């Protein structure tokens, strides 16, 4: 019976156009690749190529074989990914989120509920989260999109409201509320891993310069030593209230967001224990 490696080689010949180029990309000698294709033809009982002196092209059988090879390789990868995801789900809970703060809250919750399991989390775009949930790369995602789908549960988890953190001497520090447009043109300290929040900030403050920090501890130190505006939310503002800074609410509708947990109904027994964060 033919092997998957032979189908990979067949697809490589189609991709790179010539036997020599395919052999080079596969780290094989051209004679070795040619012999492998001859064995594949013998096992299938048909010829796949029209062979000329210095040229090889797919015949009608070969074109049909390519179609099947693509389907078989896709199914093979799908089988491998599904099995690995299944094994991983027995010992690891994978979270995908569109923003950091809800993820920071959910991760310890899950660790307390499932002390024998490890919890992994990462931030992705809305599209990547939905795809990851569908492909079992995540057991649970955090999203702002409350969409009911067959086989899925989507429930409210928390609300997040954005504030701007300002030192007392800042011209806007005494305002009861401001909009993001009031900050446009100023330099802003920002955590780089804020998910979709960053897109909102860039849209609302196109003339601002964002001093994005990858390390949250480094951002904290810069915030304490700097007079620059930065952001806080109701989910994290306790960290800021202990500093000599004021928190001014933002009025933009885009910065008042409801987050939802979304997971498969088959996980309701486990994740139904998760309490909404108030």
pLDDT (tens digit, 9 = 90+) per residue, 11-39?
Answer: 999 999 888 999 999 999 999 999 999 99
Structural tokens at position 114: 């499932």
Taking only the tens place, the pLDDT of each residue in 127-156 is: 999 999 988 889 999 999 998 889 999 999
Average pLDDT of 66-89? 85
190-197's contacts with Cβ under 8 Å and 24+ in sequence apart are 190/219, 190/230, 190/231, 191/100, 191/216, 191/219, 193/100, 193/123, 194/99, 194/100, 195/97, 195/98, 195/99, 195/100, 195/123, 196/98, 196/99, 196/125, 196/126, 196/144, 197/99, 197/162, 197/231, 197/255
Mean pLDDT (the chain) is: 89
Fold category of 4-87 in CATH = Arc Repressor Mutant, subunit A (1.10.10)
**H or E stretch covering 87:** helix 60-89
Superfamily of domain 160-255: Periplasmic binding protein-like II (3.40.190.10)
SS3 172: coil
Which pLDDT band, with edges at 50, 70 and 90, does 207 fall under? very high
Say which residues have a Cβ less than 8 Å from residue 159's Cβ, sequence separation at least 6. Answer: 234, 256, 257, 258, 259
Domain ranges of the chain: 4-87, 92-158+257-271, 160-255
CATH no. of 92-158+257-271: 3.40.190.10
- Give the pLDDT of residue 239: 57
Query: Is 160-255 in the same CATH topology as 92-158+257-271?
Result: yes
pLDDT tier for residue 242 given thresholds of 50, 70 and 90: low
């Amino acid at each position: 019976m033919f092997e998957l490696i032979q189908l990979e080689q067949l697809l490589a010949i189609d991709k790179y156009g010539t036997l020599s180029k395919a052999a080079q990309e596969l780290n094989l000698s051209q004679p070795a690749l040619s012999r492998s294709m001859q064995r594949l033809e013998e096992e299938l009982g048909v010829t796949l190529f029209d062979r000329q002196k210095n040229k090889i092209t797919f015949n009608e059988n070969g074109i049909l074989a390519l179609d099947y090879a693509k389907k078989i390789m896709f199914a093979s990868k799908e089988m491998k990914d599904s099995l690995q995801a299944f094994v991983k789900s027995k010992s690891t809970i994978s979270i995908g989120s569109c923003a950091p703060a809800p993820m920071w809250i959910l991760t310890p919750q899950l660790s307390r509920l499932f002390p024998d399991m490890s919890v992994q989390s990462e931030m992705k775009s809305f599209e990547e989260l939905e795809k990851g949930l569908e492909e079992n790369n995540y057991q649970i995602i955090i999203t702002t999109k409350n969409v009911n789908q067959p086989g899925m549960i989507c429930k409210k988890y928390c609300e997040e409201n954005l504030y701007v953190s300002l030192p007392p001497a800042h011209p806007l520090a005494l305002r009861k509320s401001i909009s993001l447009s009031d900050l446009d043109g100023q330099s802003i300290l920002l955590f780089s891993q804020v998910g979709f929040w960053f897109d909102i900030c860039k849209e609302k403050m196109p003339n601002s310069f964002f001093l994005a920090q990858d390390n949250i501890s480094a951002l904290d130190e810069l915030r304490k030593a700097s007079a620059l505006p930065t952001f806080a939310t109701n989910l994290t503002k306790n960290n800021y209230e202990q500093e000599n800074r004021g928190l001014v609410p933002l009025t933009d509708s885009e910065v008042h967001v409801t987050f939802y947990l979304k997971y498969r109904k088959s996980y309701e027994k486990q994740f139904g224990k998760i309490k909404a964060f108030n």
